[in-house]
Structure 1
Amino acid sequence: MPSWFAVLMSALPILVALILLIGFKVSSLRTAVCVYVLAVVLATIPTSFQIPLAAIGFASMQGVLLSLVIVFVLIFGLLLYNVLHTGGAIETISSAFTKQAHLPVQQALLISAALGPFLEATSGFGIGIVIAAPLFLAVGFSPRKTVLLSLLTQTAVPWGALAVGTVINAELSDVSLHQLGVTSALATIPLYLMYTVAVVVIAGGWTGVRQYKGTIVAVWLLLSVCTWATNAFISTQLAAVVAGAVTAAALLGYWRLVHGSTRTVNTETAAAVDSTSSSHVSLVRAGLPYAILVGYLVCTSLIPVVSSFANGVLVLRLPAFGYRLALLDNPGFALFLTSVVAVIIYRLSWTQACRCFVNTLRQAYPAVVSTVGFVAMSTVMQKAGMINCISSALAFLFGGSFLLVSPLIGGLGGFISGSNSAANAMLAPFQSAMAHKLHSSALLYATSQNVSAANMSYASPSRISLATVVSKQVGKEGEFIRKVLPLSLAAVAMVMVFNVMFWVFIKSI
């Protein structure tokens, strides 16, 4: 058991991050820079955590390299969104979907339970909120309901931005990405039911739950089965893409069968949505980039020849750091390729394409710097022995009961950072160290971190601020945090139950 002074000192970067983000409402970008510098300072002063400057530089470089996957996906995911928005594809797809959903509950289920997760999976970092909120307003939802429903598009965050947060968790926890994806899907099954019910309650009250109980069960099963099956048999990166697309297609097909052709009541709504588009494109052209994106990822995952080629060409190798990155087998390259093709499909001018790129850099800059900062902080702390010190102290205090504390720690990271990726970068090494200290399953603790951080991130001040800006509810962030936070905490409680059940299952075999 280390001394309490050593424990406090080793936990100082994380505590300062909490104080800056929550207490002083400092931006994630500035907080990440501050806590990285603090971790470096603690590693240089003469204490038990002191390491050579060369070791600090080595650990920092490791953090930067680990961040590359996130950075590529973030930049090119935002680029794809900007190109699709400029080309009118986002508005075309949204308009086509809402024309088939005639009632508020149907529209809420379609946008929040299907379209939102799909868009979050293919772009990530809150883009689902940006797209969903104007759509909810266009179809007649009040601004308050719009904020809540747009936040609930974030229910598939473990697989957001092609599962980049889960990828970084697997890297830092040293567990299989495939296994982490599957167990995260299992832990998310009860959460999908809770969120589907929440969407219906917000849109249509508790009477809506009774009226749409069959649809609720169907949406829950589709999301759950598709998320698990895609993780298990296809690709972790495509899990929410497939789940969202299949759920949306099933809902649209069912309502079209029940209602027949589109009713005239939707004409004004469709016109209102279409009027926001900068150009009108057909539904086929609008969806073609997504088809290319999914097709590329499926081919590189399932076709051995293609997978071997993608893993063997344009590979960045840095043996000194034990680092290898196959650029063609990276989700970021798939997004970049899709963005280039989309520019051609929508015949964007050189000026429009450049504007999309400039907007992307402006949007991505804060998230890129904060992510790199948190990852570098984590790797420096790990190299200096700070993570091991904290885990030793908590293992001594909680012992086996830390299984119930783990989701709270992961959730706290998601809440303060507003990002599953940043939270995993900051805390996944700590969770992994705790697993080894307690001789427990590293996969279980990685799953606990992954799912709990994701399901607290949409209640974070940064995500709620994003939703209130788009929904024109600026200044009411506190009100929405109070409304959404209980739902997030309920999700964390469900992860605790999952941890216990998973551990009992492991012990029984």
Structure 2
Amino acid sequence: MLEIILSFLPLFSILSLLFFFKKSSIFTGIFTLILTALLAHSPFFHKSPTALLYPMVKTSLTTFMIFYILFFGILLFHLMEKAEAIKKIASFISLSTNDRIYQVLMLSLGLSPLIESVSGFGLAIIVIAPILIALGFNGIQASLLSLISLCAIPWGTLALGTIIGAELSNVNLDMLGIGSALMSFPLYIYFAILVCTIAAGKRKVLKRLPEIIFVSLVLSSSILLCNRYISVELAGLFGSLITIIVVFTLIKIQNKTPNISCLEKLTFIKNISPYLFLSFILLTSRMIPSFKVNLNNTFNIKMENYDFELPLLYSPGFFLVLSCIFTTILFKLSIPNILESLNLSVRKCFPVILTTFLFIFISEIMAASGMIHVLSNFAAYSFGAYFIYLSPFIGSVGGFLTGSNTASNTMFIKLQTQTAAEISSKPLLAACTQNVSSSMVTMINPSRVTLSTSVCKVGKYESSIQRKMTFIVAGTLSFLAFEILLLSLCI
């Protein structure tokens, strides 16, 4: 029993420091890392100081892979922001129709997932919240809509959290992407109805329900098909672009488009071209076999002892580098603008990378010392087959506390999949549940809510918005629990 309590201490430390004592993620990570290391060296787990070397090296390698993608994703956003491309894209979309349903569908299920899929970090809030206010939505509406629009987190920063989840849980990446996309189907319908209800009211939503559901299915189907036939990394970007095109088409068919000149259309294409360029080169690398093989075999970092492989030219990070170069040339950005973008990217990236390193290190030490094995055995013995129904709530704890799918997966995905194996359930089902639940619950992470209320200038209503978002997320978790029930009956 004491061994179980000691194994649970690192998780208890993370939860209590973040939730009750309101400590920063970095402080929490450092404190818990020291605690976990001391526990691993205790007589209960019998690990020598040198035994930390393997988890440390493996953590460093995994963190470098995250940095390679995350930094250049954030840099691309800042370069486009300096070129005012983001502002002009947003302006064009917002002015393309006066129909509130179409406006909110295009922004919440199109533009926001597009930005989140490339840059991550909740940056979409900064972009779409001011547009919503400019369109006449009040601050509370804009805050809620911008938070709900963070619905493509499993594919945020080119599916970084999903990639790390697959890496840590030894689950096939393609299967994790497809499973996460299937689980998200009813959630996108739910989110589409919610944003339209907030924007236009229940009556209008009921009148146009088939249309709203159709757009949500376009997003979810596009994401699923891209996961299945192209690549997991490209799914969010692909799905959001298709959704924007489909909504534009619906607007055109129903003659709800104001007069937009050819010059304005060309300017829009130019401003969105970095995303189109990124989509094209990623698509080419995934669809042309010879190109794929050459990229995989060139500058491929392999360390079999650490079960690590990073093909530098095949990784999404490389294509983000090319997109950053393309953006710099296309918009003729000045040296000061480039340097400022680099500075902003470093400042945003550093705390995320450090936090991720600490949490992965904690997870690796727990795995190496046998703590995760002890906890998974205990969970399997205590809950048996019912553990799988707790899986969405475990994932949601990580998403709520860290505001990051990547960080949440590093904390809990090993525990989830190992426990699933112990109870003869499907580790893939547990991994998908962890991935989706932790992603969707980042909407109510306190820092995300604070960001949205700050941008919308409704700080005095922050607690009210937090409560409303909590009810929305409770609905999300209920959908996931119901899906698991159906899957468990079918399998």
Cα deviation for residue 320 of structure 1 reads 3.0
Match of 1:182 in 2: 178
Letter in 2 for 1:28: S
Corresponding residue to 1:477 among 449, 462, 470: 462
Match of 1:297 in 2: 282
Match of 1:157 in 2: 153
Is 1:350 the equivalent of 2:335? Answer: yes
In terms of mean alpha carbon deviation, does 183-192 or 320-329 score higher? 320-329
Corresponding residue to 2:307 among 322, 338, 341: 322
Post-superposition Cα deviations, 1:430-460, rounded to whole Å, max 9, x if no partner, equal 1121022112211011011001111111111
Post-superposition Cα deviations, 1:298-341, rounded to whole Å, max 9, x if no partner, equal 11211111111111111122233232111111111211211111
Cα deviation for residue 128 of structure 1 reads 1.3
Q: Distance in 1 between matches of 2:58 and 2:471?
A: 37
Cα deviation for residue 69 of structure 1 reads 2.5
Post-superposition Cα deviations, 1:120-155, rounded to whole Å, max 9, x if no partner, equal 111112111121111112222111111100001111
What secondary structure does 1:329 align onto? Answer: coil
Match of 1:270 in 2: none
Is 1:379 the equivalent of 2:364? Answer: yes
Q: Distance in 1 between matches of 2:446 and 2:170?
A: 30
Q: Give the 5 Å matches for 1:186-225.
A: 186-225=182-221
Q: Give the 5 Å matches for 1:371-410.
A: 371-410=356-395
Q: Distance in 2 between matches of 1:221 and 1:69?
A: 32
Q: Distance in 2 between matches of 1:39 and 1:410?
A: 21
For structure 1, list consecutive stretches of 5 or more residues without a partner in the other structure. Answer: 268-273, 275-279
Match of 2:418 in 1: 433
Is 1:53 the equivalent of 2:53? Answer: no
Corresponding residue to 2:29 among 29, 32, 38: 32
Aligned residues of 2:388 and 2:420 also touching (Cα < 8 A): no
Q: Residues 394, 341 of structure 1: CA spacing in aligned structure 2 closer, same or farther, 3 A cutoff?
A: same
Q: Distance in 1 between matches of 2:256 and 2:458?
A: 37
Match of 2:88 in 1: 92
Q: How many residues align?
A: 489
Cα deviation for residue 47 of structure 1 reads 2.5
Match of 2:246 in 1: 250
Aligned residues of 2:166 and 2:173 also touching (Cα < 8 A): yes
Aligned residues of 1:61 and 1:376 also touching (Cα < 8 A): no
Match of 1:121 in 2: 117
Q: Give the 5 Å matches for 1:240-279.
A: 240-259=236-255, 261-262=257-258
Corresponding residue to 2:20 among 1, 20, 23: 23
Q: Distance in 1 between matches of 2:50 and 2:279?
A: 42
Corresponding residue to 1:11 among 8, 31, 47: 8
Corresponding residue to 2:398 among 404, 409, 413: 413
Is 1:75 the equivalent of 2:60? Answer: no
Runs of 4+ in 1 over 4 A off after TM superposition: none
Q: Distance in 2 between matches of 1:463 and 1:260?
A: 34
What secondary structure does 1:317 align onto? Answer: strand
Identity of aligned residues (%): 31
Q: Residues 261, 405 of structure 1: CA spacing in aligned structure 2 closer, same or farther, 3 A cutoff?
A: closer
Q: Distance in 2 between matches of 1:495 and 1:260?
A: 36
Q: Distance in 2 between matches of 1:202 and 1:366?
A: 34
Match of 2:60 in 1: 64
Cα deviation for residue 394 of structure 1 reads 1.0
What secondary structure does 1:101 align onto? Answer: coil
Aligned residues of 1:101 and 1:110 also touching (Cα < 8 A): no
TM-score scaled to structure 2, two decimals?
0.96
What secondary structure does 1:154 align onto? Answer: coil
Cα deviation for residue 488 of structure 1 reads 1.0
Letter in 1 for 2:307: G
In terms of mean alpha carbon deviation, does 441-450 or 5-14 score higher? 5-14
What secondary structure does 1:316 align onto? Answer: strand
Q: How well do the aligned residues superpose, as a CA RMSD in angstroms?
A: 1.8
Cα deviation for residue 413 of structure 1 reads 0.9
Cα deviation for residue 291 of structure 1 reads 1.4
TM-score scaled to structure 1, two decimals?
0.93
